[in-house]
């Protein structure tokens, strides 16, 4: 019989405590706090993410059924919705943003050797944003439209493991292209983003940082071809050109040559035109790199379906950002758990299993492996019945 910690507590042990308290001290999170520490706040909010709680009252009802599970989960303070609401309103959201960055660094090391479909030695990133709609009367600070509020998550993910390594949260009115100003570009890395990010003055900074971008060209692009490279049209390639921009403003903003690749999708028969500042990779790799950009869309879809970032427990900017960053922490924790234990199941399946067993005193590795074994045995049994029936 396993007599160790509860499942929830075992998951939380993967958080580096010294780094967590360094984040707390950096922003004075526990200043004059006696009963409900930042650690208690994080555990309660992480519990809400893991178990699909809908409100602070819901969290309180689940956690106050019995005191003994709270002790084994690591929660020492008294859990009440007023205490949690006050903590979310007043404690700096940057505590959990910095904690997320610490967890992201761990996850990226674990997934550093993963394959994302291309034989590329450089790091590859996908960048995009998603909008979370809010009620204007409850969230007046989140400006978006005349009768609507929203926040935007500008997100950069590492394609090796689909780990978010940069997230910038703004109100919905901020244009996507402005988020490029906050990126710290990595020399030699590839960045994929859609046409909404085309600003040639900003794209020129990629050259100064020795980084590469791949994006779609707009239909009204004005340019002059200075070199055409041979292409294999059987692969869908139509042209691979070196161009100079000739538009009045674009020629001033981007002074050096660009690579223009035209491609016809064999499935949809749609013609796509890409721009890049990399002249060395094979032309056929440019459309494939851009196709990987879809991973950031899948990331947005996953967190909206599996975590609590569409319904918020508080209405202030601090409370919203706190909840989003703790949700990111939970996502990365599950990704770390999956990699460290070599679990073949998807992140969604792992999260579903953990959501119904937080109070159970069973080894997490055994829990996930046993369920995985039972499922695989069940599938095999069904196949045998079909084969011999």
pLDDT over 70 at 371, yes or no: no
Under a CB-based contact definition with an 8 Å cutoff, are residues 155 and 300 in contact?
A: yes
Number of separate helices (H) and strands (E) present in the chain: 14, 10
Helices (H), 218-293: 250-253, 285-291
Q: 128 pLDDT band (50/70/90 cuts)? A: very high
The verdict on residue 166 lying in a domain is no
* Spatial CA neighbour of 335 closest among 343, 347, 345: 347
Q: Is the dihedral of CA 319, 322, 328, 331 positive or negative?
A: negative
pLDDT over 80 at 381, yes or no: no
**Lowest-pLDDT choice from 38-52, 159-173, 200-214, 369-383:** 369-383
The verdict on residue 188 lying in a domain is no
β-bridge partners, 105: none
**Residue that is last in its domain, among 266, 283, 300:** 283
**Residue that is last in its domain, among 239, 266, 283:** 283
pLDDT over 90 at 6, yes or no: no
Same-domain pairing of 272 and 335: no
Q: What is the pLDDT of residue 383?
A: 40
Same-domain pairing of 199 and 279: yes
Tokens, residue 93:
């959201």
Mean pLDDT of the chain: 89
Same-domain pairing of 278 and 224: yes
The verdict on residue 214 lying in a domain is yes
pLDDT over 50 at 251, yes or no: yes
Q: 65 pLDDT band (50/70/90 cuts)? A: low
> If DSSP states are collapsed to H, E and C, what string results for 282-327?
CCCHHHHHHHCCHHHHHHHHHHHHHCCCCCCCCCCHHHHHHHHHHH
Q: What is the pLDDT of residue 66?
A: 58
Distant-in-sequence, close-in-space partners of 10: CB < 8 Å, separation ≥ 6 = 4, 363, 364
The verdict on residue 38 lying in a domain is yes
β-bridge partners, 130: 153
Tokens, residue 277:
């500042």
β-bridge partners, 272: 263
Tokens, residue 140:
């007046």
**Residue that is last in its domain, among 260, 283, 306:** 283
Looking at residue 266, the DSSP 8-state letter turns out to be T
Over residues 173-217, the pLDDT tens digits come to 999 999 999 999 999 999 999 999 999 999 999 999 999 999 999
Q: How many domains does the chain have?
A: 2
The verdict on residue 231 lying in a domain is yes
Over residues 69-119, the pLDDT tens digits come to 676 677 777 888 999 999 999 999 999 999 999 999 999 999 998 888 887
The verdict on residue 326 lying in a domain is yes
The verdict on residue 56 lying in a domain is yes
Q: What is the pLDDT of residue 74?
A: 73
Same-domain pairing of 274 and 319: no
Same-domain pairing of 15 and 92: yes
Over residues 279-289, the pLDDT tens digits come to 999 998 999 99
* Interaxial angle between packed helices 81-90 and 56-63, expressed in degrees from 0 to 180 and rounded to the nearest 10: 130
Q: Please state the separation of Cα 113 from the chain's center in Å.
A: 19
Q: 361 pLDDT band (50/70/90 cuts)? A: confident
Distances (CA, A) of 233 to 88, 239, 255, 266: 57, 8, 30, 11
Q: What is the pLDDT of residue 69?
A: 67
Same-domain pairing of 86 and 13: yes
* Spatial CA neighbour of 15 closest among 35, 45, 59: 45
β strands within 189-310, DSSP E:
190-192, 212-216, 223-229, 237-245, 258-264, 271-276
Rounded to 5 degrees, what angle do the CA atoms 322, 324, 325 make?
65
Same-domain pairing of 251 and 332: no
The verdict on residue 354 lying in a domain is yes
Count CA within 13 A, CB hemisphere, residue 241.
Answer: 15
Q: Is the dihedral of CA 101, 106, 107, 112 positive or negative?
A: positive
Under a CB-based contact definition with an 8 Å cutoff, are residues 60 and 131 in contact?
A: no
pLDDT over 90 at 296, yes or no: yes
Give percent above pLDDT 70 in the chain: 93
**246-266: average pLDDT:** 94
Host domain of residue 225:
194-283
């Amino acid at each position: 019989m396993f007599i160790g910690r509860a499942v929830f507590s075992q998951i939380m042990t993967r958080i580096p405590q010294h780094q967590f308290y360094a984040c707390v001290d950096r922003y004075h999170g526990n200043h004059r706090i006696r009963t409900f520490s930042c650690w208690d706040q994080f555990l309660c909010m992480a519990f809400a993410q893991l178990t699909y709680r809908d409100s602070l009252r819901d969290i309180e009802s689940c956690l106050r059924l019995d005191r003994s599970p709270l002790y084994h989960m690591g929660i020492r303070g008294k859990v009440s919705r007023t205490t949690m609401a006050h903590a979310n309103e007043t404690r700096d959201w940057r505590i959990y943003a910095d904690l997320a960055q610490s967890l992201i660094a761990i996850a990226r090391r674990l997934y550093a050797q993963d394959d994302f479909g291309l034989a590329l030695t450089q790091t590859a990133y996908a960048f995009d944003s998603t909008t979370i709609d809010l009620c204007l009367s409850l969230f007046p600070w989140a400006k978006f439209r005349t009768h609507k509020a929203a926040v935007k998550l500008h997100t950069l993910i590492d394609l090796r493991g689909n780990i978010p390594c940069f997230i910038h949260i703004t109100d919905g009115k901020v244009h996507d292209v402005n988020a490029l100003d906050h990126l710290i570009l990595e020399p030699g890395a590839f960045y994929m983003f859609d046409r909404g990010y085309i600003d040639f003055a900003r794209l020129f900074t990629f050259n100064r940082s020795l980084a590469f971008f791949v994006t779609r060209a707009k239909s009204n692009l004005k340019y002059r071809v200075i070199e055409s490279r041979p292409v294999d049209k059987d692969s869908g390639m139509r042209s691979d050109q070196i161009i100079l921009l000739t538009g009045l403003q674009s020629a001033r903003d981007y002074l050096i040559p660009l690579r223009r690749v035209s491609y016809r999708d064999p499935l949809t028969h749609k013609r796509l035109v890409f721009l890049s500042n990399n002249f060395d990779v094979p032309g056929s790799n440019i459309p494939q790199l851009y196709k990987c950009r879809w991973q950031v869309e899948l990331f947005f879809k996953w967190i909206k379906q599996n975590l609590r970032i569409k319904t918020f427990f508080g209405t202030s900017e601090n409370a919203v950002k706190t909840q989003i960053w703790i949700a990111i922490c939970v996502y990365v924790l599950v990704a770390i758990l999956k990699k460290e234990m070599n679990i073949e199941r998807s992140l969604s399946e792992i999260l579903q299993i953990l959501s119904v067993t937080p109070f159970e005193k069973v080894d997490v590795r055994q829990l996930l492996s046993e369920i995985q074994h039972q499922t695989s045995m069940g599938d095999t049994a069904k196949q045998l019945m079909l084969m011999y029936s």
